[in-house]
Structure 1
Amino acid sequence: MIAFLMWIIDLIANLVFVLILVHVIISYFMKPWHPFRMWVDRIVNPMLAPIRRAMPTIGMFDFSPIILLLLVQVLAAVMKRILLIFV
């Protein structure tokens, strides 16, 4: 059961990681009104919004996706560590 929960945590963390990377890449190449980009934006922007409010942009660069990627990985590691405590 613990292994399954750890697998689910990894799966969700990896899906979010890929969605963030896709969001960053397609923001350079796709128009904002493209249906796929709008779908990805609807998923990723609510996670990025609090970070963007807390952290100002530096020049024209937005580092909030990098911060979110790090937070997702740290959160997944902490959740897996908590699961291991209860074994």
Structure 2
Amino acid sequence: MLILLEIIQMLITIARWVIIIHIVLSLLIAFNVINTSNDFVRSIWNGLDALTEPVYRPIRRILPDFGSLDLAPMVVLIGLSIVDIIVSRLAANIATGGAVPL
């Protein structure tokens, strides 16, 4: 059971990094530091967009429209942090035999 929880924590960490890289890349594209006419940049952008857009889409439907400000990545990062806290507490509780309060 602990191995499964560690795998979940590793996947949460990977998801966090993918979202952070997506945010940074979107800022670099928005401020024209890098250009999507480059094939390499476009392929990275399309790959990251394919990974993150299915997660962002339902959140964007719920959030009010803030114009060009997209708060969906922040909501996802907060949600991932909450899940990570729950998983780490659960792992600590299992490792100590129930001595750690949830």
| TM-score greater than 0.5 by the shorter chain | yes
Q: Retained in 1: the 8 A contact 2:9–2:87?
A: no
Choose 5-14 or 73-82, whichever is displaced more.
73-82
Asked if 2 retains the 8 angstrom alpha-carbon contact of 1:23 and 1:40, the reply is: yes
**Pair 1:67 & 2:72 matched:** no
**Quick check: which has more Rg, 1 or 2?**
2
Corresponding residue of 2:23: 24
Contact 2:16/2:77 (<8 A) preserved: yes
Q: Map 1:1-87 onto structure 2 (within 5 A).
A: 1-2=1-2, 4-28=3-27, 29=29, 30-31=35-36, 34-85=42-93, 87=97
**Structure 1-normalised TM-score?**
0.80
Per-residue CA deviation, residues 21-59 of structure 1 (Å, 9 max, x unaligned), is: 111111132528801110011111101111101002323
SS at match of 1:8: helix
| C-alpha distance in structure 2 between counterparts of 1:16 and 1:26, whole Å | 15
Q: Tell me the TM-score normalized by structure 2.
A: 0.70
Q: Is the 8 A contact 1:9 1:80 kept in 2?
A: no
The gaps in structure 1 that reach 5 residues or longer are: none
Q: CA deviation at 1:83?
A: 4.5
For the aligned residue pairs, the C-alpha RMSD in angstroms reads 2.2
Q: Which runs of 5+ in 2 are unaligned?
A: 30-34, 98-102
Sequence identity percentage: 22
How many residues align? The count is 86
Distance 1:76 1:22 in 2: 19
